[in-house]
Every structure is written in C-alpha cells, then in structure tokens.
Amino acid sequence: MVELNRILLILGLLLLVACSNTEVKYDGNPLKIAVIGDIPELNNKKIHFEPLSLDEFGVNTVQISTNFDAVMITPVIFEEASNDRFVEVYNSSKIPIIFFDSEKRNLPFTNGGLTYETARWESLNNGSHTTMYLSDIGANREAVWYFYLKDEKGLDTLYKEIFQMVETL
C-alpha cells in the first residue's frame, strides 16, 4: 500500500509539473534565446532558452549576438540590469533585447541616469506587458515593439507574438 501511494504521489507530481508549463503554439523557425534572470517554463520544441549572466552579456556582446536570436531579461534582474554600465551594451547589441514583464518599458535600461526603481512608473506606463528593443547605432535609430497581455490565458499568445517578431528580425 505504501508503494502504491508513493507511485501515485510521483505520478501526481509529474502531471503537475507537466501541466505547469505554458504551451506556446509558435511554429516558426527554431529560436535560441539567452535569458538573464528566470528561465520561462514553456512547452515548445522550437524555442531553446539558455541562461546568461549580465556580466557575460556585457563582456561578450558580439559573441552573444552571433550565437543567439535574442536576449530576454526578466523582472528578478531589472534593478541590476538598469545600471548605467549596461546602457551601452543594450544600445550596441545586434540582436533584439526583450524586457519581459517590464512596466517601465525599455527606458530605465537604455537611458543613463535611471534605474528600474527610480524611473517613474506612471510616466512610462503605456499598458504594455513586454518591450522588445533593438538599437542600430550605425543608422542612428532604434526600434521598439510593445506586446500586450489581455489576461493570464493570453500568455501563450504573448510569447507567440514575441517569438514571431524575433524571427522576423
């Protein structure tokens, strides 16, 4: 009886873990995304996430741009990621940077003198959930895309839109 309970517990835990991943119906080209912060729990064989540190990104920007399709930065690292020493890194990256779940868009990260904590949320809030930023210093321009989350059930759609945009860049 104890063995049966143990098996049922293990099966229940496996089912819970399997169901906790968000299924994303992205069917484009395979993407390799470096993640600074928490790795998203997604279920899609075409999306490969690889952890990356801020310092590694700052030192190896060219190599990162060659090996990955995008860099995603998540909320647990926003305050550190908004340090002025990374502004030039973001503004010289050759691949898009996804500021996932940033109420303050890309502005605290791509402009000196602001941090995520000190940037005024009210003036930066445009209702978006996530911002994608790509700077082209050679052409003296920048591109910013905003992605909106309507409700928790729309998280898979949000991810799909982000991945589709990364694929086109």
Q: For 17-56, write each residue's pLDDT tens digit.
A: 344 456 778 888 999 999 999 999 888 888 999 999 999 9
Is the entire prediction scored with pTM above 0.95?
Answer: no
Q: Residues 6 or more apart from 130 whose CB is under 8 A from it?
A: 98, 99, 100, 101, 102, 146, 147, 149, 158, 162
Task: Name the residue with higher pLDDT: 22 or 165.
Answer: 165
Rounded distance between C-alpha atoms, residue 8 and residue 80, angstroms: 43
Can you spell out the DSSP letters for 11-54?
Answer: HHHHHHHHHHSEE----SS-EEEEEESSPP-EE-TTEEEEE--H
pLDDT at 54: 92
Mean pLDDT of 135-151: 76
Task: Name the residue with higher pLDDT: 73 or 44.
Answer: 73
From 98, 48, 58, select the one nearest 78 (Cα to Cα): 98
Q: How confident is the model at residue 151 (pLDDT cuts 50, 70, 90)?
A: confident
Mean pLDDT of 104-110: 83
**Is residue 8 over pLDDT 60?**
no
Task: Name the residue with higher pLDDT: 141 or 82.
Answer: 82
pLDDT at 63: 83
**What is the identity of the amino acid at 92?**
S
- Length of the chain in terms of residues written: 169
